[in-house]
Amino acid sequence: MTSSTIASALDSAARDVFDDLVAWRHHLHSHPELSNREHHTAEFIVERLRDAGIDEIRSGIAGTGVVAILRGGGDSGSGGKRLAALRADIDALPVKETSGVDFASTVVDKDYPGGPFPVAHACGHDCHTATVLAAAHVLASVRDRLPGDVMFIFQPAEEGAPVGESGGAQAMVDDNAFTDHTPTMVFGMHVVPLPIGMVGVHVGNQYAASCMIKISVEGKQVHGSTPWMGIDPYPVAAEIISGSAQIYRQVPANDAITVSFGHVDDVGRFNIIGQTVTLWGTIRCLDGADMTAVQDKLRRLAENTAAAYGASATVEYLQDVPPVVNTPEWVNRIRPVIDDVIGKERVVDVPGALGYDDVSVFVRDFGGAYFTYGVQDAQVSGKGLTPTPGGRGLASNHSPDFYADDDSLLDYLRIFVHVAYAHLAESS
């Protein structure tokens, strides 16, 4: 079969399954589940994979992860059989959705640690999951012509497992998800507020290294009317937060880093100065080599600030995630495929970002690349990225208003299946 013939077959199958993709996406969007609690989502994934006739399906990996194998029947040539892996993350966020779509989530998780929380797919993982499911159906329809095998990875807890639980990409590796079948490439794309159908490519660190911060400030509990008789941990916590904003000045100006705090726990009351205040936050370093130095600086700031107030501070760094690194070799292999599928004019260079995605573990261990894909009413001009006049506006990932255009997902699907096939065909 010629390359043009298989391309036509893939595109035709993508069009055939597209209505299902949209329906699946709407279902997942309406039934979001938080990290490590994606039980219904995993069941739904397994059912759709069975419908496609996928050869091997493993569920319950690292809790709620699913890995499936489609065996190709085509000639793999003298280069040996490859295993192209397509990855989707499946968890949602503790966000109250205000997107206005008629399939918006109204889910509330009453049992999640720290909850209850409203739950929404405010980062587009419903798009990722539905599209990789559709890719399984498309590739299964041409299985006899695949010169290799395809793996479909549905990963839980990309947004981070609850403290005290393991989860995510590394947990899938540790749970032997890839012991029997080792990918020769992992590919994925994150939906983002770029113009509809635009692919963003970055050579180098696409996303940052990340860790979670936990700083426990210990004082001495006392009545609010007599603060001099105790040690108030709140001024210490405030100074740590304020001081952390200056850490960026202690690293080279061209090294993008950020230290942010997003949650505070205490054990006080309106008239009781509690003994402990706990700060939760994140460090992001576009260059992973900066992480140790930034962690050391924050630890020193916290401990010395606490000591100055007669308190103490314990600093912990949790859930380390390496940066997503797109090597020149892999970009040069994958980008031309996408150019052919949607046109070079829609594939653009983008800067690295301080977001994180633990697909980095898979790309690091097995090779591959991770790009971004536009799903919103946006345009790029001399003013940068701006909303399309008369459109739905721009809404960032993790925003309550985040939305993704359904029609954009057809080309998103086409890219996935063409990249998978191209990787397999390289060896034939």
180 and 47 fall within a common domain: yes
| Beta pairing partners, 217 | 277, 313
- Cβ-contact 169, 358 below 8 angstroms: yes
44 and 121 fall within a common domain: yes
118 and 245 fall within a common domain: no
56 and 153 fall within a common domain: yes
Report DSSP state, residue 322.
Answer: P
For the segment 46-66, the average pLDDT, to the nearest whole number, is 98
The pTM of this model reads 0.94
For the segment 351-368, the average pLDDT, to the nearest whole number, is 97
Amino acid 427: pLDDT: 60
306 and 342 fall within a common domain: no
Residue 267: domain span? 209-321
227 and 369 fall within a common domain: no
47 and 154 fall within a common domain: yes
Q: Of the residues 302, 321, 340, which one is the last residue of a structural domain?
A: 321
For the segment 100-108, the average pLDDT, to the nearest whole number, is 98
Amino acid 303: pLDDT: 99
For residue 347, the tally of other CB atoms under 10 A from its CB is 18
Amino acid 267: pLDDT: 83
Amino acid 79: pLDDT: 53
226 and 170 fall within a common domain: no
128 and 84 fall within a common domain: yes
For the segment 174-191, the average pLDDT, to the nearest whole number, is 98
For the segment 307-318, the average pLDDT, to the nearest whole number, is 98
Mean of the per-residue pLDDT values of the chain: 96
Q: Of the residues 252, 286, 321, which one is the last residue of a structural domain?
A: 321
Q: What is the pLDDT of residues 118-148, one digit of tens each?
A: 999 999 999 999 999 999 999 999 999 999 9
- Count CA atoms closer than 13 A to 283's CA, side-chain side: 30
The number of domains in the chain is 2
For the segment 185-194, the average pLDDT, to the nearest whole number, is 98
Better-predicted residue by pLDDT, 4 or 393: 393
Report DSSP state, residue 342.
Answer: H
Amino acid 69: pLDDT: 98
Amino acid 76: pLDDT: 60
Q: Which helix (H) or strand (E) holds 338?
A: helix 328-342
139 and 162 fall within a common domain: yes
135 and 221 fall within a common domain: no
CATH of the domain at 244: 3.30.70.360
169 and 273 fall within a common domain: no
Amino acid 326: pLDDT: 99
**Lowest mean pLDDT segment, chosen from 50-64, 77-91, 193-207, 409-423:** 77-91
CA distances to 116, 296, 301, 304, 350 from 237, rounded to whole Å, are 26, 17, 11, 12, 37
What's the full length of the chain, in residues? 428
For residue 228, the tally of other CB atoms under 10 A from its CB is 7
CA distances to 2, 13, 53 from 7, rounded to whole Å, are 9, 10, 21
Of 47, 200, 201, nearest to 129 (Cα)?
47
Percentage with pLDDT > 90 across the chain: 93
Under the banding of pLDDT at 50, 70 and 90, the label for residue 1 is very low
Q: How far is residue 296's CA from residue 245's CA, in Å, rounded to a whole number? A: 15
Q: Of the residues 293, 321, 349, which one is the last residue of a structural domain?
A: 321
For the segment 200-225, the average pLDDT, to the nearest whole number, is 97
- Cβ-contact 40, 141 below 8 angstroms: no
CATH of the domain at 331: 3.40.630.10
DSSP string, 141-191: TTGGG-SEEEEEEEES-TT-PPTT---SHHHHHHTTTTSSS--SEEEEEEE
